[in-house]
Amino acid sequence: MVKAIVKEAELRKQYLNEPVETIYFGGGTPSLIAIEDLQFTIEQFRNYFAVVEQAEITLEANPDDITEEKLLQWKAIGINRLSIGIQSFFEEDLQWMNRAHNAEQAMRCLALATKHFSNITIDLIYGTPTLTDEKWKINFEIAKELNIPHLSCYALTVEPRTALDKMIQLKKKEEVDPEKQARHFELLMQWSKESGYEHYEISNFAKPGFRSKHNSSYWQGKSYLGLGPSAHSFNGNERQWNVANNTLYLKSLELNIVPCEKEVLTQEQKLNEYLMTSLRTTEGLSLKRVSDNWSKDAADAIKKDAAIFLAEGTMTASDDHLILTDEGKLLADGIAAELFR
């Protein structure tokens, strides 16, 4: 698989026309990859692309994979940011979510990781049936006390046809409560503000200087290249996604073929994507950008349709930007959909 991904990188080295500022190993469990393979991959990426000297290089890691030896090895090959799937510091929450690690491993891995890495993000899940308001506060306080500079916090989503979905249908697990999820999100916004975290995107909170450069690129509409099975790419005009079948992916790359589908985006699709992503950020939607990149008519129409949200207090206007309030962040997707052209 590593060889196939590197081969895809070679075949697609002309895809990006600007320097590469971030590399992200994710979408699976890259913390299981042998250090030699990770090093080889990074070296080949630097051969094929104009990777900037101080690029942000993130590795997703599971708590049960992290050892001091691995941390030192990752750091030595250029990994400078870790994304750790903690989810919760409570055993019953982790068991309910069928996580492989336990609460002790969650604490131990962060004690190790913070010794060697300053740029760390952890995932926390809220709104699960086993997570009370008090335990949610403790999860946040632990992250704060450990001085974790970046938090990605998500309401639990039960995907159709998953083991969790089936367990809930069979009444073997309790259903999630949307009202509890909304309450936990409101509490999170309050605590993060009091603790010096910048709520720079709906699900992301960072201490000053620790925003995710990688994820910010998505929200800013920059081009990106995804490598591997199921990976998505975007070059500003066209979206591309690789086949999800591992065997087919490997066989295709042996023949120097990238197995993918493509879609050329219309101007309307591009505008709606900008609406959706920009409203999720602290900077909000720029009417000037809409006017410059699409049309003044489009900007005027959005401003007109936004009047109802400005009036009800779910949105504010600052200069030429439309920005969601804390109340509006609870309704972000719905508000964006109302503004779609």
What DSSP string runs through 271-334? HHHHHHHHTTBSS-EEHHHHHHHT-HHHHHHHHHHTHHHHHHTSEEEETTEEEE-HHHHTTHHH
pTM for this prediction: 0.93
Sign of CA dihedral 159, 186, 98, 79: positive
Could you give the CA distance from residue 21 to residue 51 in angstroms, rounded to a whole number? 6
Binned at pLDDT 50, 70 and 90, residue 169 comes out as confident
Q: How many CB atoms lie within 10 A of CB 94?
A: 23
- pLDDT at position 163: 67
pLDDT digit string, tens, across residues 219-264: 888 999 999 999 999 998 999 999 999 999 999 999 999 999 999 9
Binned at pLDDT 50, 70 and 90, residue 175 comes out as confident
Report helix angle 35-48 to 68-76, nearest 10. 20
pLDDT digit string, tens, across residues 276-332: 999 999 999 999 999 999 999 999 999 999 999 999 999 999 889 999 999 999 999
- pLDDT at position 164: 65
Q: Which residues contact 109 (CB under 8 A, 6 or more apart)?
A: 61, 63, 64, 66, 84, 101
Nearest to 131 by CA among 82, 180, 72: 180
Strand order in the sheet with 315-318: 285-286, 321-324, 315-318
Whether 160 has a pLDDT exceeding 90, the answer reads: no
The arithmetic mean of pLDDT across residues 26-54, rounded, is: 94
Which helix or strand (DSSP H or E) is residue 118 part of? Answer: none
- pLDDT at position 265: 95
Q: Which residues contact 307 (CB under 8 A, 6 or more apart)?
A: none
- The size of the chain, in residues, is 341
Least confident stretch, 69-78, 134-143, 152-161: 152-161
- pLDDT at position 178: 85
Could you give the CA distance from residue 213 to residue 203 in angstroms, rounded to a whole number? 15
Check: CB of residue 195 under 8 Å from CB of residue 151.
no
Whether 28 has a pLDDT exceeding 80, the answer reads: no
- pLDDT at position 204: 97
The arithmetic mean of pLDDT across residues 47-71, rounded, is: 96
Could you give the CA distance from residue 256 to residue 162 in angstroms, rounded to a whole number? 34
- pLDDT at position 341: 86
Check: CB of residue 175 under 8 Å from CB of residue 168.
yes
Residue 247, token pair as written in the block: 């065997």
Binned at pLDDT 50, 70 and 90, residue 64 comes out as very high
Binned at pLDDT 50, 70 and 90, residue 76 comes out as very high
Could you give the CA distance from residue 97 to residue 260 in angstroms, rounded to a whole number? 32
Check: CB of residue 310 under 8 Å from CB of residue 317.
yes
The arithmetic mean of pLDDT across residues 206-231, rounded, is: 95
* Complete domains list, the chain, with CATH: 18-219 (3.80.30.20), 281-339 (no CATH)
